Amino acid sequence: MYRVMVQLQDGEFLLVAHRDSLEGATQLIEELSTYWPRTYVVLDTSGNEVDFAGHAAIGPEPHGASPVSQL
């Protein structure tokens, strides 16, 4: 299970959706970014942020706030 998170303007992270696969999470972020460009991150079942190196760009770099520390 993967959690898709979006970073709000105040730096907080908000849960957007759950997906069963990393591919599903990546596809959702790509679709959301088309209409709602934001910083998105994906957390695995342990709450670790997934590294998207080699995947399509999914938004600007996070601005210091970590969604893991806020869950």
Structural domain spans, the chain = 2-58
Per-residue pLDDT, 53: 52
Q: What is the pLDDT of residues 26-58, one digit of tens each?
A: 999 999 999 999 999 999 988 889 876 545 444
Contact 5, 14 (CB under 8 A): yes
Question: Is 26 within 8 Å of 3 (Cβ atoms)?
Answer: no
pTM above 0.85, yes or no: no
Of all residues in the chain, the percent with pLDDT exceeding 90 is: 62
Q: How confident is the model at residue 67 (pLDDT cuts 50, 70, 90)?
A: low
45 CB-near residues (< 8 Å, 6+ apart):
1, 2
**24: buried, middle or exposed (CB in 10 Å: 19+, 13-18, 0-12)?**
middle
